[in-house]
Each structure stands twice: as structure tokens, then as C-alpha cells.
């Protein structure tokens, strides 16, 4: 692998102007931060959520017309300073590799909480009070499936044979504040609701988010950005970005572009009051819109000060934004070349050896940065080459912070909802690691089952993990209390 500089410093006058204006606005308009983010859940691209469990009823214990201006070549060549260092452990973050100091972490066995004899299952969601979870059961992924619930305290389970979703990937449960649940049975919005393991009744007037539109309000509440998918053409989404003034309702920009389902993590979102990241496009590169300049242009030459042709190597984009100060970070995964990390507050870009990983959450969400915006997760190939990876944690700031290995020969299971624990899978077992210290706390196995996905409860006190029997293929759910 070629030597990669630790960071590159590239001044950007356009960015500095936008950032300073944004900062002043945020001081005056302070906490009008509102995000109206509707989930981009395109049916054509959605993959079924991970399996869920539970047989029949029982009680086992148990996201003015304008044209895109061509980007101008950066007048300031990228300056390279510093020397790339190999990742080293630090005194504050101890690496988790099963050395003698951590090998003594207990390996605890778990029995199935729910088994699906001869059935397929899919975990749906946890209830807000952390006691119930919902799942779906059916004979196959394509056939009708029924709704089921389980109580992790009492062990009570129940299956609603007459509550059917059209297939394993279509039904979903929306929990209410009073502890009841609404089960949406198809993409047309047919729904039924009630208290888990009690009688359910039809629910009328259920409104579903429009999967073809994403709406975002700027942090200062002055502008509304709408990303509208106009037409689906195989893997190409003909899309329009429309930004309007909230006070007048006037459209200030309308930009057409072609999107792709593979770019779902590349935006769109507000970086601050002035800058809106459109993200990766098929036909126009990686775009952003500046309210103060009233201009749509490309991220690489304008914000990063790098060559336009470098955009073609970007595979993923992650963003961390602070609406109060108008500062943000952009993480760009580069195919076979590690990653770029842009620090807006310093107007500085780092090139990193590692490829970015992701902090998954219990609802299937994906983010490059930890929820508090302070940490990045990276991964690298293991010497063993068995498909699993080594995982490294790094502070976002300051630049050149040293990465520390927190798990080796593993795959990520996700960060707990309270941000205190992180789970990994290694060879079919579950590892629980403290976050961000990276201390191995416990290891969990299910005899004769291969565990490979999990969902944290809202308070982070429990998780449900899915396993399949290594001989029969029987699917099951396990409840772990880390």
C-alpha cells in the first residue's frame, strides 16, 4: 500500500465565508433546530429486516430553476504536511484483542428465548419501555406472515394468527407512548392495533411517510429542503432537490439530478444554516448547495480543495454536524484507498489508511460517526483472511488522533442505544465491549447456534440476537443482558 500523508491542509475562502455567516446566524437564531426527516425506505431497494421469532401463543419462562455550474479547478494545490503513522494504542483506550488480560472474560451460554420450528422469522422492534419486542413468523419470505410479541421479563409470548402481513419484509410495528402497538400490514397502510398479547382491532387513517420524498428543515428554521424522486428507472432515481423559504414559500433553487440506491448514505442533509449536502449523484458528482452564494457546485474542489476527478473514488459519505456553531465533519470512504476526513472548523482534510466502518443501531440505522459526534469506527483486513475484520476506534478531533484497535477478527453488531456498550460478532459468538474505552466485558454463545445480528433495547440494558441452528437451520431469538 502506498504511503498516505496524515492530513492535507487546503484553504477554502468560499467555505470560510459561508461558515462565518452561518455562525453569526446561529448565535441570533439559536435553538430553532428542527429536523423533519422522513425515512427513505424505497420498496425497490429495501431488503428484509433481520429475522424475528416466536411460535404460537405460549408463556415459556423464558431522509427558481437553476443549473449546476461546472466546478472550477482549485487554485490552491493540496499541501501535504506530516507523516502517516501506523495505528498505535494509547493510554486512554486499551486495545481489545484476546490477550491474557482479556481472555478471562466469561464465555456465557444462552438458550433460545424463542424458536421458530420450521418457520422463518424476522425481528421487528423493541417497545419503548424495554420489556416487549415484536417479530413476524411465516412459512417463507414470500408468503403471508403473522405478528407476534414477547415479554423479556415474564417470558410471555403470543402469536396473532389472524394478523397477517403480505410477506416477511413488509409488516412493521409502530409503538405508541402508552405501550400499545400499531402493526402496519402492507405498503398501502392497512393497520391493526392494540396492547401486546391482548385483543387487536383495525386502525383507520394511518398515514405512511412518502418513500419518494425526504424533507429537511435548516437548523435556523428558515429554509426547507425537499428531495423528491420523480421517476424510478431500474437502478437510476431521477431526483429533484427543491429549497424553499419557509417565511415566503418561495422556491429559491430547483436542481435535477440522477441518484442511485447505492448512494443512500451520501446525504442529503443540512451541514449548517447555509450549506446543504445533496450528496453523491450519478451524473454530476458530489454536490452541495450554498444558500448565501445561491449556487450548486461540487464538494471536492469547493469545500475540500481537491481535484474534481478524485470524486470517482468515493464509495460512502458520512456527516457529523453541529447546528449550534455551524461546524461539521465529512467522512469519505475511498475505494481501496482508505478514507478522507474533512474538518470544517480547521478547513483541513486528512487522508487515513483505514476504511470507515459504521455505528449501527437497533432500528437498522447507519451512521459513520458515533451519536455524540466524537468517535469514528474504522476497519481493516485481518491477517487470517477469514472474512472478518479488525475494528479500530479514533477520536474525530484533533486531526492525527491515533486509532486504537477495539476488536479483532470480528464483525460489528452495533452500538447500544445509550452509547455505553458496543457489540461484535466473532465466529458466531457475541462480544460486549465498553464504549469508548474498548474493554472486553463479556462473551456470549448459544450452543449449536450461529449468532450474526442483534438489536439493542432503547435503554441499552438488553439486546436480542438472532441465531440459526448449525445443523437443522432452525431460527431462534436470544435475549442477552450484558
| pLDDT tens, residue by residue, 69-86 | 333 333 333 333 333 333
Which pLDDT score is estimated for 8?
A: 34
Is the CA virtual torsion 16, 17, 19, 23 positive or negative? positive
pLDDT of residue 363: 58
154 to 61, 124, 462, 482: CA distances (angstroms): 6, 19, 14, 18
Higher-confidence position of 407 and 188: 407
CA–CA gap between residue 29 and residue 130 (Å, rounded): 37
CA-wise closest residue to 237 among 66, 40, 48, 65: 40
In our burial notation (b when 16+ CB lie closer than 10 A, e otherwise), range 92-116 reads ebbbbbbeeebeebeeeebebbbbb
pLDDT of residue 77: 34
Instruction: Work out the pLDDT band at 309, boundaries 50, 70, 90.
Output: confident
Indicate the burial class of 222 (C-beta count within 10 angstroms; 0-12, 13-18, 19 or more).
middle
Rounded distance, CA 290 to CA 192, Å?
44
H or E element that contains 258: strand 251-259
pLDDT at 32 over 60: no
3-state class of 13 per DSSP?
helix
Task: Please say whether the beta carbons of 152 and 51 come within 8 A.
Answer: no
* All cell numbers assigned to 234: 431500474
Residue 364 confidence (pLDDT)? 59
Amino acid at each position: 500500500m502506498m504511503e498516505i500523508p496524515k492530513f492535507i491542509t487546503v484553504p477554502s475562502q468560499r467555505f470560510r465565508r459561508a461558515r462565518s455567516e452561518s455562525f453569526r446566524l446561529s448565535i441570533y437564531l439559536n435553538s430553532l433546530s428542527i429536523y423533519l426527516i422522513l425515512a427513505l425506505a424505497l420498496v425497490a431497494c429495501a431488503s428484509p429486516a433481520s429475522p424475528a421469532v416466536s411460535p404460537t401463543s405460549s408463556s415459556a419462562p423464558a431522509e427558481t430553476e437553476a443549473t449546476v455550474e461546472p466546478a472550477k479547478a482549485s487554485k490552491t494545490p493540496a499541501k501535504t504536511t506530516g507523516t502517516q503513522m501506523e495505528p498505535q494504542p494509547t493510554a486512554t483506550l486499551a486495545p481489545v484483542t484476546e490477550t491474557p488480560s482479556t481472555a478471562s472474560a466469561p464465555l456465557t451460554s444462552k438458550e433460545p428465548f424463542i424458536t421458530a420450528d420450521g418457520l422463518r422469522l424476522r425481528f421487528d422492534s423493541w417497545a419503548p419501555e424495554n420489556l416487549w419486542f415484536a417479530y413476524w413468523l411465516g412459512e417463507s419470505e414470500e408468503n403471508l406472515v403473522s405478528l407476534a410479541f414477547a415479554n423479556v421479563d415474564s417470558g410471555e409470548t403470543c402469536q396473532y394468527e389472524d394478523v397477517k402481513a403480505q410477506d416477511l419484509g413488509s409488516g412493521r410495528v409502530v409503538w405508541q407512548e402508552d405501550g400499545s402497538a400499531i402493526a402496519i400490514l402492507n405498503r398501502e397502510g392497512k393497520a391493526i392495533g392494540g396492547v401486546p398479547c391482548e385483543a387487536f382491532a383495525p386502525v383507520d387513517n394511518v398515514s405512511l411517510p412518502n418513500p419518494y420524498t425526504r424533507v429537511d428543515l435548516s437548523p435556523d428554521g428558515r429554509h426547507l429542503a425537499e428531495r423528491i424522486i420523480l421517476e424510478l428507472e431500474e437502478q437510476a432515481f431521477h431526483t429533484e432537490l427543491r429549497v424553499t423559504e419557509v417565511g415566503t414559500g418561495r422556491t429559491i433553487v430547483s436542481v435535477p439530478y440522477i441518484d442511485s440506491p447505492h448512494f443512500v448514505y451520501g446525504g442529503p442533509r443540512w451541514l449548517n444554516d447555509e450549506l446543504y449536502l445533496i450528496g453523491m449523484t450519478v451524473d454530476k458528482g458530489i454536490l452541495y448547495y450554498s444558500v448565501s452564494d445561491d449556487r450548486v457546485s461540487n464538494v471536492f474542489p469547493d469545500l475540500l480543495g481537491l481535484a474534481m476527478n478524485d470524486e470517482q473514488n468515493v464509495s460512502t459519505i458520512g456527516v457529523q454536524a453541529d447546528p449550534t456553531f455551524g461546524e461539521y465533519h465529512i467522512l469519505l470512504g475511498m475505494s481501496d484507498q482508505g478514507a478522507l476526513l474533512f474538518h470544517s472548523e480547521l478547513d483541513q482534510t486528512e487522508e487515513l489508511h483505514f476504511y470507515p466502518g459504521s455505528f449501527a443501531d437497533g432500528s437498522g440505522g447507519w451512521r459513520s460517526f458515533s451519536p455524540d459526534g466524537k468517535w469514528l469506527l474504522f476497519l481493516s483486513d485481518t491477517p487470517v483472511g477469514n472474512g472478518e475484520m479488525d475494528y479500530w476506534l479514533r477520536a474525530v478531533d484533533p486531526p492525527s488522533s491515533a486509532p486504537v484497535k477495539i476488536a479483532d477478527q470480528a464483525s460489528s453488531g452495533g452500538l447500544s442505544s445509550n452509547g455505553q456498550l458496543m457489540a461484535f460478532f466473532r465466529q458466531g459468538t457475541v462480544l460486549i465491549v465498553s464504549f469508548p474505552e474498548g474493554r472486553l466485558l463479556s462473551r456470549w454463545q448459544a450452543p449449536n447456534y450461529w449468532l450474526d445480528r442483534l438489536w439493542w433495547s432503547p435503554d441499552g440494558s438488553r439486546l436480542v440476537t438472532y441465531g440459526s441452528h448449525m445443523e437443522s437451520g432452525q431460527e431462534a431469538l436470544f435475549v442477552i443482558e450484558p
